């Protein structure tokens, strides 16, 4: 029995070493980024919450950048309606768990990234157990209750996170930094969020692709310590899908915020 334990431990070590080597090679070959900044990704771990239109747009770009550890959390399965919100799935995936499809596909395509499927509901208890070992969270659920749970947990653990949403013909995303002093939390941005929440029409898959890929880029910039030089103020990015027009506004702390206590 001890022999088998040693055998499997050795196999795991060798697999991890191969993955590390592949990741280093992939980062070295990633275009468009400073090589020194890419090296800052080598020990990072990312949690993507939600495997719908936004999540399946963000996750492949994070894996393509050779982020070493990527976790995908979603409790739902692929349904026929899911196919309209993202091209990631196909009809053969219907009735399978979303996270299993995403993890299996990305692990085949990007062996340099270890992608783990978490078939669970993301709430504060779930996040409180995982955040100590995470570098950043990408909340791609579009669900206000889940977003508020992420906001509260990330605030407690001083974990940076990216949040976004799409509905109808509009979308938005922002990066929140509870790991730095003085920044707003999601509850501070209630007025910003209402701009897209009033439109509950189904969204085009291309819109989710635009916002989700931008969320991945925002997460990578945090991990590589390459951020917008606007006095450290977080920015809310809004997009009109049909006009393809992006609008950027500063995200300010709200007086008497019930979450961050401003």
Q: What is the pLDDT along the chain (262 residues), one digit of tens a residue?
A: 444 445 434 444 544 444 455 445 444 445 556 667 677 888 899 999 999 999 999 999 999 988 999 999 999 999 999 999 999 999 999 999 999 999 999 999 999 899 999 999 999 999 999 999 999 999 999 999 999 999 999 999 999 999 999 988 889 999 999 988 668 899 888 754 444 344 556 788 999 999 999 999 999 999 988 765 444 578 899 998 777 788 998 888 888 888 887 5
The pLDDT, as a whole number, for residue 197 is 47
In order of their start, the domains of the chain are 2-250 (3.40.50.720)
The pLDDT, as a whole number, for residue 12 is 41
The pLDDT, as a whole number, for residue 262 is 57
Query: Are 235 and 44 in contact, with CB atoms under 8 Å apart?
Result: no
The pLDDT, as a whole number, for residue 225 is 83
Residues whose CB is less than 8 angstroms from the CB of residue 46 and which lie 6 or more positions away in sequence, other chains included: 62, 67, 69, 70, 71, 134, 135, 136, 137, 138, 219, 223
The pLDDT, as a whole number, for residue 11 is 42
**How many angstroms separate the Cα of 8 from the Cα of each of 16, 19, 104, 108, 112?**
12, 16, 22, 22, 20
The pLDDT, as a whole number, for residue 14 is 47
The pLDDT, as a whole number, for residue 26 is 47
């Amino acid at each position: 029995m001890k022999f088998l334990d040693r055998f499997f431990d050795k196999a795991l070590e060798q697999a991890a070493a191969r993955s590390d080597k592949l990741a280093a090679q992939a980062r070295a070959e990633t275009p468009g980024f400073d090589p020194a900044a890419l090296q800052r990704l080598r020990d990072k771990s990312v949690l993507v919450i939600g495997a719908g239109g936004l999540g399946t747009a963000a996750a492949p770009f994070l894996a393509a950048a050779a982020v070493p550890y990527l976790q995908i959390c979603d409790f739902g399965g692929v349904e026929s309606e899911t196919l309209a919100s993202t091209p990631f799935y196909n009809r053969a995936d219907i009735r399978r768990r979303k996270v299993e499809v995403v993890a299996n596909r990305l692990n085949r395509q990007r062996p340099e990234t270890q992608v783990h499927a978490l078939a669970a509901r993301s709430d504060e208890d779930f996040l409180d157990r995982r955040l100590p070992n995470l570098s950043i969270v990408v909340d791609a659920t579009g669900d206000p209750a889940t977003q508020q749970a992420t906001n509260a947990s990330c605030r407690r653990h001083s974990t940076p996170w990216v949040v976004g949403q799409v509905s109808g013909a509009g979308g938005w995303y922002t990066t929140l930094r509870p790991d730095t002093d003085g920044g707003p939390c999601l509850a501070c941005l209630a007025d910003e969020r209402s701009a897209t929440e009033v439109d509950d029409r189904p969204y085009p898959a291309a819109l989710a692709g635009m916002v989700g890929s931008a969320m991945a880029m925002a997460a990578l910039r945090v991990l590589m310590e390459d951020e917008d030089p606007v006095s450290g103020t977080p920015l809310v990015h809004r997009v009109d899908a049909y006009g393809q027009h992006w609008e950027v506004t500063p995200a300010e702390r709200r007086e008497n915020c019930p979450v961050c206590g401003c």
